Amino acid sequence: MKLTEIQDLIKFVSKSGVNEVELETKEIKIVIKTGKQAAPVMYQAAPAQITAAPAQVMAAPVADVASPAANAAAATEAKYITIKSPMIGTFYRSAGPDKAPFVNVGDDIDTGKPVCIIEAMKLFNEIESEVKGKIVKVLVNDATPVEYDQPLFLVDPA
């Protein structure tokens, strides 16, 4: 792969909005990371490792101008406990398409009660609550991908 092709790939990835692209062939491996915590673009040839940073794609910080209503909502949500995803996978609110959701907004939960399922590598993992309280908000839509440590539910511990 020529340097101009690598540069074109970097430009394409920066415009596409994805966070990370990894391309590997017999001769070369390219990893391009963008976003807030972007690392330098690295590439390496098979026999000898070459690490260089021909271009670094960074997301520009945007000034946060919050309205008083948004500040009040943030303060209200601060008193809630967040149940977060312990893994990467697909989030499901129920055990099956014809089954009722494990929890709904307004439901009381206890420690150890299943709140959702996360499918990872064809394994269905039942996620149990680590807190006792009332479900205030479901933060993820059913059958959508979730990341590690992504907020899933807001719980009022009162």
Residue 87: give the domain boundaries.
79-156
40 phi, psi to nearest 5 deg: -60, 150
Answer whether residue 35 is part of any domain.
yes
Look up the CATH number of the domain holding residue 144: 2.40.50.100
Answer whether residue 67 is part of any domain.
no
Answer whether residue 84 is part of any domain.
yes
The residue assigned the tokens 């398409």 is: 97
What are the residue ranges of helices labelled H in 17-143?
68-78
Render each residue's pLDDT in the chain as its tens digit; 158 residues. 677 777 777 777 777 777 777 877 777 788 777 764 444 545 554 444 444 444 444 444 444 555 555 555 555 667 899 999 999 999 999 999 899 999 999 999 999 999 999 999 989 999 999 999 999 999 999 999 999 999 999 999 97
Residues 97, 149, single domain; the answer is yes
Query: Tokens for 139?
Result: 């933060």
Name the domain count of the chain: 2
CB 6 within 8 A of CB 15: no
Identify the CA nearest to 13 among candidates 25, 37, 31. Answer: 31
Cβ-proximal residues to 66 (8 Å cutoff; 6+ apart), any chain: 74
Torsion region of 156: left, alpha or beta (phi above 0 gives left; psi -120 to 50 gives alpha): beta
Report the alpha-carbon distance of residue 6 to residue 30 in Å, rounded.
8
Answer whether residue 74 is part of any domain.
no
CB 71 within 8 A of CB 78: no
Q: Evaluate the CA torsion angle 83, 139, 108, 72 in order and state its sign.
A: positive
Q: E strand or H helix at 13, and its extent?
A: helix 3-16
